[in-house]
Structure 1
Amino acid sequence: MNTSPKTIQIYLPNGSPTGIRVAEITTRIVQLIDVPRKLLPEFLAMPESKQVALYFLVSKPDDGSEPKVYVGQTGDLKTRLGEHDSRKDFWERALVLVSRTHSLTQTHALFLEWQSIQTARKAGRYVDLNGTGGSRPHTPAPLEADCLEIFETGGALLATLGHPIFEPVVQTTKTAGPDELFYCKTANGDVSGKGIYTQEGFVVLASSRGRKDNVPSIAGTSDAAFRQKLIDSGVMKEEGDQVVFVKDHLFRSPSTAAVALFGRTANGWIEWKNQQGDTLDAVKRQAVNG
């Protein structure tokens, strides 16, 4: 993703920060409209809903399980989003990409839909619900160049509104050295986790291992349900008396990441340590506040 400085404007049509939001980069022709599901009728009354559009239906659970996305395109948002509202239960918000100059065509939309699905799958941050995703549509070279610029803009706007669908969870740490890695271990080896503290939270890296069984004190609690959801969604899999992370997974806090591995309540700021044995708290919080 292009990391050059950008000016992004967010407009609130009804004045509420939790209502419909319209985001745009001031020098680009497209805008992204963030629509809470409850306010779908309000959006469908807006003139922007009458355009050809690329859209993303998203859910972002608070329980640590993976967010979901469905990508679509249409020239009839009222009908298509109405169908999704009545037939798809999972989504909480619709993010709709349209042109401020009404210049988005069906050919643009088809290519953008395909590009979005492929990039989202490669990033692996959201579970996509698009099935096969289709084949690459034929797109003339000049139009494809336009699409790629629109796609870049759309990705930046999605991330700004809290949905970095196209960005891997460890994107900003691929070149991190050993000092950026933190470990969560037990003496008997039943827990052996590795992770990275990022600006979004704490990422437990693939192949990290934890205990399969929960301690009795969290049986029937939200922590136990949270760990089971990680297994059910395929983030972790069971191997013998352990669970193994199948892929990198972002947690909102170091403590929820530690709970996932230990199967008990845990203070992740203390449990996660670097190679020198310094706690995450000492490295990331005390170093700043000291």
Structure 2
Amino acid sequence: MSQRPRTIQIFLPAGDPRGIRVAALTTSIVQMIEVPRPLLSEFLLMPESRQVGVYYLIGDDEEKDQLSVYAGQTGTVGKRLNEHDLDPKREFWNRALVAISLTHSLTQTHAMYLEWCSIQQANVAQRYSVENGNAGSKPHTPPSLEADCQEIFDTIRTLVSTLGQPIFEPLAVRREAPQNVGAPTVTQTNPEPQLLFRCKGPGAEATGQYTEEGMVVLKGSHARMDVVASTPASTERDRQRLIASGELKREGDAYVFQRDVLFQAPSRASNVVLGRNSNGWSEWKDPAGKTLDELKRQKAVASGALG
């Protein structure tokens, strides 16, 4: 998703910000409709429900303590959502995001490619547990139509994030994003190299990125095996949750992060890594030894950003 200013309009058909919401870029023909599951009957009355579309079912994966997504496509999106609503195998979802064309120009070929592209990119991002049974195979798509689909997906990616579901956004930015063979070519949201921070202690060494969402501890980081007696109960709960979900796995004399993990606060991340109470603003340091506090908070004060 390219980084440039954009204008997005959100329409509330019933005037309720918690109800059905319709989002669109002012320069695009793609429209994204957010449908809370209890309001599915209202969506079925909308003419948009009878269009070709790509949709995403969103809900909670209680076993993994993670959000889940199921991506699909259909020639009549309302009918398909109604089928999912009645399907006991699809109980997890509580809202749907539906992408359609304002000009009715989406074809079944577009939809099939976008479904495949969505599954691929959601698996790469690893934010959501992908409920599709398999990644599928890339449908045959002429080059000109594939170019159109890439542009449409770029818009879809922007709109789902705007509606609070960053399905396709990796937690951390890497210089070379992992790509599966035949995977869609999708640009990083923030392609600039990100500063890496390290947190070290007895039996622990972790690498992280400080993003607009918090501190992301990167896959492969090591957390201390044991915790000290004064460790906050909240830190022990965080560690046990990550162990139970498989995100932290014992390897030798340490716990190793099996994927990138987001913590909303730097100290919450350093507590888990170090196995004790800590100040993340001073524990996370760049390769030159400067702390996160020096590079982020003090820099903001010096620039006048904090008054």
When the two structures are superposed, what TM-score results if normalisation uses the length of structure 2?
A: 0.81
* Correspondence 1:207 to 2:233: no
Q: Which residue of 2 aligns with 1:234?
A: 246
Contact 1:55 1:96 in 2 (8 A): yes
Contact 2:7 2:26 in 1 (8 A): yes
Q: CA deviation at 1:244?
A: 0.6
Deviations 1:166-190 (A, max 9, x none): 23222337623xxx2222221x3x1
* Aligned partner letter, 1:182: F
Q: Which residue of 2 aligns with 1:132?
A: 134
Q: CA deviation at 1:61?
A: 8.1
* Correspondence 1:50 to 2:50: yes
* Aligned partner letter, 1:162: G
Q: CA deviation at 1:215?
A: 4.7
Q: How many residues are aligned here?
A: 284
C-alpha distance 280-113 of structure 1, shift in aligned 2 (>3 A)? same
Contact 1:32 1:96 in 2 (8 A): yes
**Which stretch of structure 1 is more off in the superposition, 133-142 or 84-93?**
84-93
Return 5+ residue gaps in structure 1 as ranges. none
* Correspondence 1:193 to 2:214: no
Distance in 1, matches of 2:265 and 2:40, equals 32
* Correspondence 1:33 to 2:33: yes
Q: Which residue of 1 aligns with 2:181?
A: none
Q: Which residue of 2 aligns with 1:101?
A: 103
Contact 2:22 2:31 in 1 (8 A): yes
**Which stretch of structure 1 is more off in the superposition, 68-77 or 268-277?**
268-277
Distance in 1, matches of 2:245 and 2:40, equals 28
Q: Which residue of 2 aligns with 1:78?
A: 78
Percentage identity across aligned positions? 53
After superposition, residues 130-209 of structure 1 pair within 5 angstroms as 130-171=132-173, 172=190, 175-176=193-194, 180-186=195-201, 188=202, 190-209=203-222
Distance in 1, matches of 2:85 and 2:227, equals 38
When the two structures are superposed, what TM-score results if normalisation uses the length of structure 1?
A: 0.85
**Which stretch of structure 1 is more off in the superposition, 235-244 or 148-157?**
235-244
* Correspondence 1:288 to 2:300: yes
* Aligned partner letter, 2:81: L
Contact 1:65 1:226 in 2 (8 A): no
C-alpha distance 214-92 of structure 1, shift in aligned 2 (>3 A)? farther
Q: Which residue of 2 aligns with 1:271?
A: 283
Distance in 2, matches of 1:38 and 1:145, equals 36
Q: Which residue of 2 aligns with 1:19?
A: 19
Distance in 2, matches of 1:90 and 1:58, equals 8
Contact 1:66 1:233 in 2 (8 A): no
* Aligned partner letter, 1:206: K
Distance in 2, matches of 1:73 and 1:67, equals 20
Q: Which residue of 1 aligns with 2:258?
A: 246
In structure 2, the residue corresponding to 1:67 is in which secondary structure?
Answer: strand
**Which stretch of structure 1 is more off in the superposition, 91-100 or 227-236?**
227-236
